Each structure stands twice: as C-alpha cells, then as structure tokens.
Structure 1
C-alpha cells in the first residue's frame, strides 16, 4: 500500500517514462495540450522546454503553419496557430526570470516563424517586427541623439536585436541577412552608430563604452564583437551592398564616434578584423596621400602585436604589402622615412607622458614606454631578418 507522501516522492507517471516514449506522446499532442501538460510538474516543464527547443520540433511547427495557410480559413488558422504557440512558450517559461522568458519566447517564435523561408518572406517578418516593436522609431532616437544620451534605450535596442534577430541565427548567412535588414535603410553615419550600439564595448554597468574608446587602450575581448560584425559584413565578396569601399567608409565613420578613437583601439580593432580589411584601410590612406596618418597607424599596429603577443612577422608582412602600393622608388623611400620618423615621434610622446605623469601613473607610463621601445626593436629585428633571408 502506497501513502500520499510516497506518491509525491516517486513523482508522476510520465516522469518514469523513457525519453523516446515521452517524445512520441508530445508528438501527438496539440500545441494547447502540450502547454497544459508543461504545467504538470517542474520536471515535465523542463523536459517540454528542451523538446520544443529542438530543430526538428521547430521545423514541424513551420510545416504546420504552412498547412494552416492553405486552409479555407487560412488567416484565422494561422492566428490561432501562433496564439497557441505563444501560450505554449508563456507556460513553458513560467519558472524562468522575466528577462530569460522574453529572450526565449522572442527567439523561438522568430526561429519557428522563419524556418525554411526565403528572403522575401523573412523581409515580411522583419517588417512585422518593426511595426510591432516600433523598432525604427527607437533606432532614430539613438542614432540622431548624442552618443550615450539615451543610455537605457541603447542597451534595450542592443539586447533586442542581438537576442531576437542576430545571435540566434545558426549561420553567418542568416546573421548577415538580419544585420543587413537592420542597417540598410539608414545613412552610413547612422549605420556606423548602429554597429557600435549593437556590437561595441559594453561596460560592467551595462552602458556602452563611448568614452572608453577615446581615452584608453581597450582589451581584445571588448572589441572582438565589433570586429566579428565587420568581418561578417565583409565576408561575402559577391554581396553588392557591402563592397570594400562601403566597408572602408563605415570604418572611417565608426572610428570617429563620438570623436577620434585612441589610435591603439583602432589598431587593435583592425588586427582583429584580419589581413584584408587591415590592408585595405592602410592602402586607402596611402593612395589618398595620408602618409603620416598611415605611418602612425602602422606604428600602433606594431605596438598591438607587441602587447598582445602576436607574431611580429605579421606586422612586417603587412608593411611589405602596403609598400607595394607605392609605384616609384622615391615614394617608397618617403614611406620608409615617414614610418621611421613616426616611431621616433610616438616614442617621444610616450616619454613625455611618462615624465609628466602623477606618481600613481608612473608604473603604467613606464610600461607604455617599455612597450614602444620593445616593439620598435622587435619589428626592426624581424624586418632585417626578412631582408637577410632574401639576400
């Protein structure tokens, strides 16, 4: 004979079933029935949540939505279908914090809604989301105001776009599609601002690092998301929208927001973006007669190699590639002179800062001076090694 307390400790009947059998049961239940079943116990709720997170289940839901659209009363059937889907997500996430519930519900609904759809159909989903969430109005507020003036809205926009549209995408193509949808209707300066809001450095207090990119050398981790976003847009060479010239223009706009970035941050971002984008930026400055600006950027790329432990051979090869932009011997000699003079100039600037600093800043200033001296020595050693090998 079993007592009530024993029944409670043993759990319900369904919890004792093998997962395969439970999957078969869930497969035969309607959305409304699954949502009711998910409230049977904490264990059942957890299992149902895992079940509806699978790709197979989302594909089946997408197939069902297509079936409803072909019914005589298709519009009402589709509305009923997604109403039941929303109720299921709501009930399945009852035990989660509100933030996690919203993230799960929006992501799964969007993934289910667009599974197997072509770009035209996904465009309609994006239009619906824009209208439903007033996304364009919120974007306009943050891209036309002063950076950081609408701090909470910037973070809200970042979380919505990242968690609902961008991060859940399972492929680079999907993520690039949604990012293009977000950016393409805005002028280039607004696109740059949006990229910073979506992928720029996020501080511990959940605000964007608008001022930090101007004053301090940031870590790789704080710039990595932004570099990945730029690489994502630049990854498809056949994309007529994100051409090399477009990417250069966006980078120019991005790295003067809200003012000109600290040169070390620009160099670190370009090093994370890889050879092609980095070379394009340097070559563009060379072709447009911005020799001093290009030389300063190269010096800071070499400094980043030293600080971050990259192989100095990478910087040497980059300088060799950029030197090929100059056609005449005189132009190449001017490039070499400009680069060497810039090494001296940056070294003197760092020395003066170290000498003028407060006692508290002495250690950091001394480390900066040591880094610039070391990077110069290692770079010139490596370039001489390459020269001697070619001899």
Structure 2
C-alpha cells in the first residue's frame, strides 16, 4: 500500500541562500521599469540634476565634450548646465588682458582652451538646425564683452577676438558652404558689419580710423586668421569682398591687409604714395591676392584678380611704381606675368616698360636674381603678336631706363635730398640695376646665339 504524503505542511526544496544587494536591486528594478532613460543616462539616472551639474564642475572642458557624445539626453543636460549662470561663468574665461606667463605661453593656452570649448558646443548642438545652434551659442557668448565688435576698449591688447575666432573656426570646421554662408550672414546681422564697411569705403581714407581698425581686427582675428586650409581662408575672404564693387574691394583689402602704424595699429594710407616701402608693409596684401588667385575658387577669375590689383595700386591715390613692382614680385610669378601680359594686350606698352625698370630696381635693392626680371620681360615679349611690336616694346624699355634715371638725377641735382640721402641712394641702385639688367640681357643673347 502506498504511503500518503501529509499535506498539512509544505515541502521546501533545498537551495542556497544569497545575501541581498540593495544597490543591485535598485538599479535592476529601474532597468526593468524605466529602460529607455537608463539607456541614455546610465547610472546618472540615480542622481538628482543638481548633483549631475556639480559633477560637471569638476570635469575639464575636454571631458565634458567627450561626455556630451554619450547620448542625446546627457547632451541636453550639458546644454542646460551651460545655460545656467554658474555654468557659463565657469566655462567662459573672463580676462583676455592680464596675461602673466612669458613667451606667449598663456596666450596659446587660452586659444587652445577656446578651441576645446568650440568643440564642446559643436558636439552639444549637433542635432539642432544651424539657425538654432547659432542663436543658442550667441546667447551664451553675448555675456563676454570682448567678443563683440566694439566691446573692448583696448582691442590691440585684447585676446578676446582671437579666442572668438578660434571658437568659431572649431565650431564650423567641416560645415558645408551653405551653412557657412548662414554663419557669415548671422555675424553680419549681429555686428551690422556691412553698414560699417559701407561707412569706411564711402568715406575719405583715414577719416574713420577707429572704425577701420575695428573692421580690420574683426575680419582678421575672427574670420580669417585661424584656418588651416587656404581654401577655407579664401572662402571667408570672398564672403567679405564679393558683395562690393571692385573699387570698394580694393579699399577693404587695403584696410584689412595694408600697412599699419606700430604705435596705434591704425591703417597708414600714405605709405604707398610718399616713398618706397618695405616688404613687410606689402606682404599682407600680396598674401591675400595670392590666396584668392591660387585657391582656384570659382568666384574669382584671373581677370578679377588683375582688376583688383589694378584698383589697389591707386588706393588712396596712385602708388609709386616701385611699390607696385614690389607688390607684384611678392604676389608671385603667375600674378606678375598675368598683370603684365594684360597691359601688353591692352596696348599699354609704355607703362609696361616703366614697370620693367622698377622690377629691376626692386631686384637690385633686395638682392633678388636679376635674371628673373630679364626672363619675365622675355616672357612678356611673346605676348606681342608681331616682331614690330616686340621691337617697339624693347625700345620702350631702354627709353624707360633713361627717363627714370634722368628723373632721379634731376631730383638729386635740385637739392631735394633727404636727411638719409634716400634720393641719391635710389639713383645709385637704379644705375646698378640697369647695369646688371643689361648684363643679364647680353648673357641671354650670347647663350641664345651659341646654341
């Protein structure tokens, strides 16, 4: 007979007991009940928002930037933190003037900081439309007066605009042209830049010196200086220049890249018309011209560049031809030849001959190879379509050497000598230039006959 099981008690199976873990239980319960927020906030879900923001205070900008990529929810919390008064004050360095470290180390450190800050904002606002991104960023940065067009009382000693430029460069790096157009339009609307430019290009040069300086600093430090790729610099320079007629483009180019006073940083308008200038005074202009010519942007043709150089050479009045020649040499062989060929094609052989003389003079003064000037003349000769035109041009070059020599000699003989005998030295260099130029011509002729 089978035995009965007593049903008055319950059998408990053998099992191993484990100690409970409240923390594990808490997170597992949350995972089960609220899996979506946990997947985006992780363990931060257990923390009040205030504690999360306190944690952010102890993280570097680079760490916060990395954290912002974890999820959309965390990114939004970081945006909210930046929007708070304490968050923006902590992230935006307030002082751009009292730099204490030597050898520009602190300057480099601050610029690098704003590069990291730009990357943080780039990542945090990644999912926002461009217009909303710009509005949000402006709302945060508007608290810094040194980021504004005229916000700093001592702009030459201020690192604010370079930091703002570094921030914007990092933010917009990799954006397509349409988005960058929107950025430029946003900045123009924000600063009223077109109206300010209109004021300076329509006024007598030098009549609005402080505004000229502000435009120069804003364009250079915010829009142009921080780009690694020349094509990016050309894009932003094109945005600055293209809305204007050619004559105004030349004025703006001079304001942004022309020579300035070492005392107050203001544009020196008379430098090109009062006497021969030096290479540093022209290098900025030459580099800007090469930038537009060499990058091959569709918005600038070779004719555009030549017209721009032509207009530039009469800003504010006609330059000394020596300064014009120096600019062409610094602008490179292609621009120099294209400019001279344009004169040859348009029947301006006498102007071209005088330009050859001053190219030779600059080569002599700066110890450049004189055979470069001779070869440039030889190359230009081929532009003339007939032997008669070529012979007439060569005769014009010889006559130009004689005429310029007589002009300088008359200046010396009239007693109009500078304290440093500049006129006499100029005449001396011209005579030397003529001798070396003709020596190279003879050498070229002999070599041609012997081959």
TM-score (norm 2): 0.72
Does the CA contact (< 8 Å) of 2:205 and 2:316 recur in 1?
yes
Aligned to 2:414: 356
Distance in 1, matches of 2:417 and 2:91, equals 67
Aligned to 1:217: 276
Aligned to 1:117: 175
Deviation at 1:106, TM superposition (A): 2.1
Distance in 1, matches of 2:144 and 2:184, equals 23
Does the CA contact (< 8 Å) of 1:199 and 1:226 recur in 2?
yes
Match runs of 1:303-318 below 5 Å: 303-318=361-376
Aligned to 1:146: 204
Deviation at 1:386, TM superposition (A): 1.6
Deviation at 1:206, TM superposition (A): 2.2
Q: Does 1:166 align with 2:213?
A: no
Aligned to 1:387: 445
Does the CA contact (< 8 Å) of 1:354 and 1:362 recur in 2?
no
Please identify which structure carries the higher helix content.
1
Q: Say which SS state the counterpart of residue 201 (structure 2) adopts.
A: helix
What stretches of structure 1 of length at least 5 have no aligned partner?
1-20
Per-residue CA shift, 1:185-218, capped at 9, x if unaligned? 1111111111111111112242222112112101
Residues 381 and 190 (structure 1), Cα distance of their counterparts in 2 relative to 1, 3 Å cut: same
Distance in 1, matches of 2:144 and 2:208, equals 35
Aligned to 2:265: 206
Distance in 2, matches of 1:48 and 1:343, equals 54
Deviation at 1:84, TM superposition (A): 4.7
Distance in 2, matches of 1:212 and 1:90, equals 31
Deviation at 1:52, TM superposition (A): 2.9
Does the CA contact (< 8 Å) of 2:343 and 2:352 recur in 1?
yes
Residues 305 and 69 (structure 1), Cα distance of their counterparts in 2 relative to 1, 3 Å cut: same
Does the CA contact (< 8 Å) of 2:258 and 2:284 recur in 1?
yes
TM-score (norm 1): 0.82
Deviation at 1:101, TM superposition (A): 4.4
Distance in 2, matches of 1:187 and 1:97, equals 32
Residues 224 and 359 (structure 1), Cα distance of their counterparts in 2 relative to 1, 3 Å cut: closer
Distance in 2, matches of 1:255 and 1:182, equals 20
Deviation at 1:219, TM superposition (A): 0.2
Which stretch of structure 1 is more off in the superposition, 172-181 or 81-90? 81-90
Q: Say which SS state the counterpart of residue 421 (structure 2) adopts.
A: helix
Aligned to 2:316: 258
Distance in 2, matches of 1:340 and 1:302, equals 12
Residues 302 and 101 (structure 1), Cα distance of their counterparts in 2 relative to 1, 3 Å cut: closer
Q: Does 1:298 align with 2:352?
A: no
Distance in 2, matches of 1:362 and 1:112, equals 49
Pick from 22, 43, 52 the counterpart of residue 113 of structure 2. Answer: 52
Distance in 2, matches of 1:216 and 1:389, equals 38
Distance in 1, matches of 2:92 and 2:195, equals 37
Q: Say which SS state the counterpart of residue 351 (structure 1) adopts.
A: helix
- Taking only aligned residues, the RMSD between alpha carbons, in angstroms, comes to 3.1
Per-residue CA shift, 1:249-296, capped at 9, x if unaligned? 111111111211111100000000011111111111111111111000
Residues 37 and 331 (structure 1), Cα distance of their counterparts in 2 relative to 1, 3 Å cut: closer
Distance in 1, matches of 2:166 and 2:338, equals 39
Aligned to 1:10: none
Does the CA contact (< 8 Å) of 2:361 and 2:433 recur in 1?
yes
Structure of greater Rg? 2
Per-residue CA shift, 1:312-345, capped at 9, x if unaligned? 1110110110010122221111111100010000
Q: Say which SS state the counterpart of residue 66 (structure 1) adopts.
A: coil
Distance in 2, matches of 1:160 and 1:348, equals 46
Aligned to 1:342: 400
Aligned residues: 359
Aligned to 1:62: 122
Deviation at 1:358, TM superposition (A): 4.1
Distance in 1, matches of 2:135 and 2:208, equals 36
Distance in 1, matches of 2:114 and 2:431, equals 54
Does the CA contact (< 8 Å) of 2:242 and 2:249 recur in 1?
yes
Does the CA contact (< 8 Å) of 1:357 and 1:365 recur in 2?
no
Does the CA contact (< 8 Å) of 2:114 and 2:167 recur in 1?
no
